[in-house]
């Protein structure tokens, strides 16, 4: 077992699911890069007892570094610094120089937004954020909250606790400074590099992958292999020491022999990147025509910086009228075969290419539910078409799950259909 960190995410809004945590995953990836494994992530609400209990558990679990995120704001439900001080056996004291720096930041912020504020409430919030555990190293605020590295009680061999703010931009902006502190450097001194390799598969049952991995147990026994099914894609991820590089190559070759083209990305490149590279390679532009996904395919193509090089634009044709008006789909065709059909998917793709003067187009038309399904065309039926002017590929799928799941899976289907067309 190498060097390990553990994370406590605080905030009732995360615990109760109103907000998705984006810090735990980011920290896991950053730690992995520098050779630190993450053992557990605990999410607690804004209750001091739960936070203290989680901290004590992770300290006892043998983590070399415990990291907290959130609970450093100016409101009274933000109490991480005080609880960490308690657990580490330290009193709280006002850092007056820090208080002055926070006050200056708040003043600039309020001025930039043109907000009217009450000076007394600003002062109270600033004072709270400048209260720090005795002996802690302060990390300069990126927003208004300082980070902290709080050492264990004097003479204890327990790990330090790194206290980071909850807003992802603030946490990320403070990360390098945190790693550079004496306390964190010492805590992570024993780390060794851990490499992660990803392979991606499409259109393969998980049980077949499981059987294949069992057959290659002489390889997988040396690696930590996890598999994950997400929006129809299977991901195989290995984590291992650098000296296991050959074993990974052997596993990759074995899976390629077993699955061929279904292992569409033996090096882990995402389908988004493959589609983008192939469009750039052809110097081609792309347009979308979407019904049930209503913009999600276009938005996904635009996720990548630099996508303006190939994304011409998109048409969200939610109504039949829009399909006719914007894409030129003949109304009598829709009357005859229905909006969710191979014919309409093909007409939508052709219309998008023509209307946007794009080289390539992809179309999606389906029944996302919960209503609108019939026995012949149930909820989850989706037709897709990709068209580059020389060739068209069509696909019909019946997707399980609710409205959100059907739409998300449809986006993945559209990306893979483009990959196949452009391949």
Residues 332-371 that bind a second copy (CB under 8 A): 355-357, 369-371
Q: Which long-range contacts (CB under 8 A, 24 or more apart) does 24-29 make?
A: 24/69, 26/168, 26/171, 26/172, 27/67, 27/69, 27/171
Within 149-188, the residues that bind a second copy by CB under 8 A are 167-169
Q: Which is nearer to a second copy, 186 or 304 (CB)?
A: 304
* Apex 69 CA angle, 67 and 75, nearest 5: 140
> Does 376 help bind a second copy (rule: CB under 8 A)?
no
CB of 124 to a second copy, least distance (A): 7
Contact call for residues 117 and 110 (beta carbons, < 8 A): yes
CB of 238 to a second copy, least distance (A): 10
> Does 125 help bind a second copy (rule: CB under 8 A)?
yes
How far is the C-alpha of 124 from the C-alpha of 3, rounded, in Å?
Answer: 40
DSSP 309: G
How far is the C-alpha of 75 from the C-alpha of 103, rounded, in Å?
Answer: 16
> Does 75 help bind a second copy (rule: CB under 8 A)?
yes
- Find the binder of a second copy among 34, 319, 330, 331 (CB under 8 A): 319
Within 11-40, the residues that bind a second copy by CB under 8 A are 11-13, 15-20, 24-26, 28-29, 32, 38-40
How far is the C-alpha of 50 from the C-alpha of 10, rounded, in Å?
Answer: 10
> Does 261 help bind a second copy (rule: CB under 8 A)?
no
Q: Which is nearer to a second copy, 183 or 418 (CB)?
A: 418
Contact call for residues 324 and 349 (beta carbons, < 8 A): no
> Does 226 help bind a second copy (rule: CB under 8 A)?
yes
> Does 311 help bind a second copy (rule: CB under 8 A)?
yes
> Does 270 help bind a second copy (rule: CB under 8 A)?
no
Dihedral angle of Cα 414, 307, 303, 366, to the nearest 10 degrees: -20
Helix (H) or strand (E) holding 105, with range, is: helix 96-113
> Does 42 help bind a second copy (rule: CB under 8 A)?
yes
Stretch that binds a second copy, among 120-128, 133-141, 152-160, 328-336 (CB under 8 A): 120-128
- Find the binder of a second copy among 241, 299, 333, 393 (CB under 8 A): 299
């Amino acid at each position: 077992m190498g060097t390990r960190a553990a994370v406590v995410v605080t905030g009732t809004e995360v615990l109760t699911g109103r907000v998705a945590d984006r810090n735990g995953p980011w920290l896991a990836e950053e730690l992995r890069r520098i050779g630190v494994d993450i053992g557990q992530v605990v999410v607690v609400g804004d209750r001091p007892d739960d936070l203290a209990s989680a901290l004590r558990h992770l300290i006892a679990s043998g983590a070399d570094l415990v990291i907290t995120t959130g609970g450093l704001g100016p409101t009274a439900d933000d109490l991480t610094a005080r609880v960490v001080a308690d657990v580490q056996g330290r009193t709280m004291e006002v850092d007056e120089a820090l208080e002055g720096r926070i006050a200056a930041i708040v003043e600039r912020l309020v001025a930039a937004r043109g907000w009217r504020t009450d000076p007394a409430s600003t002062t109270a919030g600033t004072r709270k954020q400048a209260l720090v555990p005795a002996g802690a190293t302060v990390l300069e605020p990126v927003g208004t909250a300082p980070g902290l590295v709080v050492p264990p009680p004097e003479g204890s061999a327990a790990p330090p606790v790194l206290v980071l703010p909850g807003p992802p931009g603030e946490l990320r902006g403070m990360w390098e400074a945190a790693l550079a502190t004496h306390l964190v450097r010492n805590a992570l001194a024993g780390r060794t590099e851990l490499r992660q390799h990803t392979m991606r598969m499409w259109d393969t049952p998980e049980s077949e992958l499981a059987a294949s991995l069992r057959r290659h147990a002489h390889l997988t026994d040396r690696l930590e292999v996890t598999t994950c099914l997400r929006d129809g894609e299977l991901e195989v991820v290995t984590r291992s020491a650098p000296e296991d590089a050959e074993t990974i190559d052997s596993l990759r070759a074995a899976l390629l022999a077993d699955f061929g083209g279904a292992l569409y990305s033996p090096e882990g490149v995402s389908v988004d990147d493959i589609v983008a590279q192939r469009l750039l390679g052809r110097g081609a532009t792309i347009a979308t025509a979407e019904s049930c996904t209503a913009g999600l395919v276009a938005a996904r193509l635009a996720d990548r910086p630099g996508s303006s090089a190939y994304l011409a634009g998109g048409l969200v044709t939610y109504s039949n009228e829009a399909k006719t008006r914007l894409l030129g789909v003949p109304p009598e065709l829709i009357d005859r075969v229905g909006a969710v059909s191979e014919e309409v998917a093909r007409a939508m793709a052709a219309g998008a290419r023509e209307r946007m003067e794009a080289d390539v187009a992809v179309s999606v038309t389906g029944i996302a539910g919960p209503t609108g399904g019939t026995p012949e065309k149930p909820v989850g039926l989706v037709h897709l078409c990709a068209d580059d002017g020389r060739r068209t590929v069509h696909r019909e799928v019946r997707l399980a799950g609710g409205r959100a799941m059907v739409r998300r899976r449809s986006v993945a289907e559209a990306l893979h259909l483009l990959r196949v067309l452009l391949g």
